[in-house]
Chains A and B, each alone.
Chain A
Amino acid sequence: MWGKDGRCRSGYEAIDAFLQSTTPEVLASRRAEAELLFRRIGITFAVYGEANSEERIIPFDIIPRVITRPEWDSLSAGLEQRARAINAFLADLYGPREILKAGIVPEELIYANPAFRPEMMGMKVPHDIYVPIAGIDIVRVDADTFYVLEDNARTPSGVSYMLEDREIMMLLFPELFSRMKVAPVDIYPDELLATLASIAPANAPGVPTAALLTPGPYNSAYYEHSFLADRLGIELVEGTDLFVDNEVVYMRTTQGPQRVDVIYRRLDDDFLDPLAFRPDSALGVPGLIAAYRAGNVTLANAVGTGIADDKAIYSYMPEIVRFYTGSDALLKNVPTYRCREAESLSYVLDHLPELVVKEVHGSGGYGMLVGPAADKKTIDEFAKRLKAKPDNYIAQPTLSLTTTPTFVEQGIAPRHVDLRPFVLTGADKVRIVPGGLTRVALKEGSLVVNSSQGGGTKDTWIVDV
């Protein structure tokens, strides 16, 4: 909220005035109200789990995170460019493989990568759209610089929080909405539906039938699946609701089989079809991939998109964007050292106490070194492992993320945030709803925004100034 010069940043004035004129007691009571509302919705959500499912209600912070319209416009242009490049990259990898022939991305990073799906090679995906739904994680390090932290190109989740957080805020702070011009987000379901319709197979009827495929009520994101299916007005199907006959996908309805043209699947590749992937998957639909290959159904997102958000590929994204769009990436990558390259490796080894070193295929923070927080012994041991297997690691500087005011136990205090906007790529155009999911690290000083580690969410306001 505050610039380096100590003045209130543009866009935050009304919030600043509001916070100045509002006592902590009033804020606390609004927060209690928000919790109540969330718990109500949350309970509706959490019932899908068992007795202790209440834990899954993610903490919500009542102070919105503000991004001004000009900032958003440039961010949004960068997101669109990135999403287009990701789609072009995937179409190329599973098609002519020009980028490998040009030597921009090393072949072995692709072919030896478990996220690469050889089954997809040479297959035609409708309109070459592989990633109609991307959730691109963004962090901000200063007033002008946004970095892309991760390109989530598989089955990104969290959009229901973007929508629910806004609903709650409009109930709690109508006066702020009347004072500021906040871009609405509730068109997201319409935009998603239009995107899905645009990528239906060529042989689908004018108004194609879409369905949302979920792993079922025991999946942790089931509430989001049911929420979205409701808002989209499409059926929420499990694997057993679908069947394939003569390479066409149908759902079993009370009025007999109904053909399905587009499947928004929230099920991982491995489980989609026991005939094509994991034979023990009871969640999928036998024959689905055959129908997909025959061009009779669209899967959103496509199979094999994980190769585009792989950590090993991430560091090549600036080159990938340039290769397919012909211009420099508008959004920066976090500077990344590839330890597989000798020059980078020696730099990394010399600067371990300042860097974060990650395994390329790791996730969830395992096998990771956070230099500034590690003692000498840990660093020395890690250096040994790094030298033994440099291909397995990348390194990044520790970032000084921006903070936003957050209402915590001690009052209003700065906390670190990230942002996940959702980028919808259709056959006709790219649609980005102005806003996204802002995750906030509620612990003082923490950079970890994951809900499993004390992270919460905030509403994200794109405001006209």
Chain B
Amino acid sequence: MLSRTAENLFWMSRYVERAESLARILYATSRIAATPSLTREGSNEWESALRTASVLDEFSELYDEANEANVLEFLAFSPENPSSIRSCLERARINARAVRTALTIEIWEAINSSWIELRKFERSDFASRDLSRFINWVKEVSVRVDGSAYRTMLRNDAFYFSRLGVYLERADNTARILDVKYHILLPESEPVGGGVDYYQWSSLLRAVSAHTAYHWIYRDAVKPWNVADLLILRREMPRSMARCYENMVNVLDAIARAYGRQGPSQRLVRRTHGQLLNVRIDDVFQNGMHEFLSGFIDDNNALGQAITDQYLS
């Protein structure tokens, strides 16, 4: 298939996935921020949301204060912010339109209607009580797009490249959420038992829709090392870094089989996946969680670049 077509499919999926991640971050943030007793002294949850989305600098150029109204506007609706939910849905649609014939009607309609429906939420009087409705809607959009891709696309390279976009973006998002919040997972960084940490950990789980999953897997109260284990290493957990890499290994193998050739992407994905398989969560804490996560984010970016070089350009 044309490299441009593959590239459009890859980015279409990435942008939808990114929109969903942002919605989850906003949800977790608003939950914590709404309960002042649960926030740490001197910390600003809204600012940390910006840091998770890696847009703090861009935000500071346009706004003075990282408060709820400003951050909501910037992360959800701002056309100025290239990674706002609005911008993500717009770019997803632009990419989809460019490969209209490579998509099924169902996927196209899911993406196109999201762009039309978005206008309902873009109002100057958008209030925080509208937020949960909005966040649910964004999650629905991503489920619709993902579901129609699963149910209607031919299992060929078009499908594979769109899946790669989902998993690469998802792995990046999970790693970033952890990286911004890792300090709360560090044992003994604060006197434990005040309840603040506990809610912070739960909010982190909520940000990746893993609150229920946690209890199913660990059958235990929320503990920081388990939270890290779940999001990094647990292959049962759909948003965990290990699961994303397992999926990408399979997808890249499928592409290599179809094309009869392996390349740098296949080597890189296997290497990172191997690291995730061979590490224990204690080692991660021991050797420095931040170092581990930044290393992973770099590897993930390198994989994205390798896929681009090998297939998309």
> Which A positions have Cβ atoms within 8 angstroms of B?
44, 47-48, 217, 226, 229-230, 235-238, 240-241, 251-255
Contacts and interface: CB of A to CB of B under 8 A. Distances in A.
Nearest to A44: B105
Given A47-B112, A254-B259, A254-B312, A235 B2 contact: yes
Contacts of B108: 44, 47
Given A226-B101, A251-B2, A254-B255, 19 more contacts: A44-B105, A47-B100, A47-B108, A47-B112, A48-B97, A48-B100, A217-B97, A226-B100, A229-B101, A235-B1, A236-B101, A237-B2, A241-B2, A252-B4, A252-B313, A253-B1, A254-B161, A254-B311, A255-B259
B98 interface: yes
Contacts of B261: 255
B261 to A, nearest CB: 8
A47 B259 contact: no
B136 interface: no
A238 B101 contact: no
Q: Which residue among A44, A237, A240, A252 has the maximum number of chain B CB atoms within 10 Å of its CB?
A: A252
Interface in B50-67: none
A47 B112 CA distance: 9
A236 B3 CA distance: 12
B157 interface: yes
A427 B235 CA distance: 60
Nearest to B112: A47
Contacts of B4: 238, 240-241, 252
Interface in B87-103: 97-98, 100-101
B6 interface: yes
**Binding site of B, secondary structure by majority: helix, strand, loop or mixed?**
helix
A239 to B, nearest CB: 11
Q: Which residue among B1, B2, B3, B6 has the maximum number of chain A CB atoms within 10 Å of its CB?
A: B2
27 contacts: A44-B100, A44-B105, A44-B108, A47-B97, A47-B100, A47-B108, A47-B112, A48-B97, A48-B100, A217-B97, A217-B98, A217-B100, A226-B100, A226-B101, A229-B101, A230-B101, A235-B2, A241-B2, A241-B3, A252-B3, A252-B4, A252-B313, A254-B3, A254-B259, A254-B311, A254-B312, A255-B261
Interface in B231-274: 255, 259, 261
Interface string B99-132: 0110001001000100000000000000000000
Contacts of A229: 101
Contacts of B3: 241, 252-254
B115 to A, nearest CB: 10
A240 B313 CA distance: 10
Interface size class of B (residues with CB under 8 A): 20 to 34
A217 B112 CA distance: 15
B100 A254 contact: no
Q: Which 8 A-B pairs have the closest CB atoms?
A: A252-B3, A254-B311, A254-B6, A226-B101, A255-B259, A241-B4, A241-B2, A230-B101
A253 B255 CA distance: 13
Interface of B: 1-4, 6, 97-98, 100-101, 105, 108, 112, 157, 161, 255, 259, 261, 311-313
A360 B2 CA distance: 42
A251 B157 CA distance: 17
A236 B312 CA distance: 16
Contacts of B101: 226, 229-230, 236
Nearest to A49: B97
B13 to A, nearest CB: 15
A368 B98 CA distance: 39
Given A44-B105, A238-B4, A241-B3, A254 B97 contact: no
A252 B255 CA distance: 17
A230 B101 CA distance: 7
Nearest to A227: B101
Contacts of B100: 44, 47-48, 217, 226
Contacts of A235: 1-2
B159 to A, nearest CB: 13
Q: Which residue among B112, B311, B313 has the maximum number of chain A CB atoms within 10 Å of its CB?
A: B311
B98 A254 contact: no
Contacts of B6: 254
A437 B76 CA distance: 48
A238 B98 CA distance: 10
A241 B108 CA distance: 22
A123 B1 CA distance: 33
Contact of B157 (A48, A252, A254): A254
A92 B312 CA distance: 44
B85 to A, nearest CB: 21
A284 to B, nearest CB: 16
Contacts of A238: 4
A7 B1 CA distance: 57
B288 to A, nearest CB: 38
A398 to B, nearest CB: 43
Nearest to A240: B4
A253 B2 contact: yes
A235 B101 CA distance: 10
B259 A252 contact: no
A252 B98 contact: no
B226 to A, nearest CB: 40
A214 to B, nearest CB: 11
B86 to A, nearest CB: 16
Nearest to A230: B101
Contacts of A217: 97-98, 100
A320 to B, nearest CB: 40
Contacts of B161: 254
Nearest to B6: A254
A160 to B, nearest CB: 13
A254 B311 CA distance: 4
B225 to A, nearest CB: 41
A255 B260 CA distance: 10
A418 to B, nearest CB: 30
B264 to A, nearest CB: 14
Q: Which residue among A217, A241, A251, A253 has the maximum number of chain B CB atoms within 10 Å of its CB?
A: A253
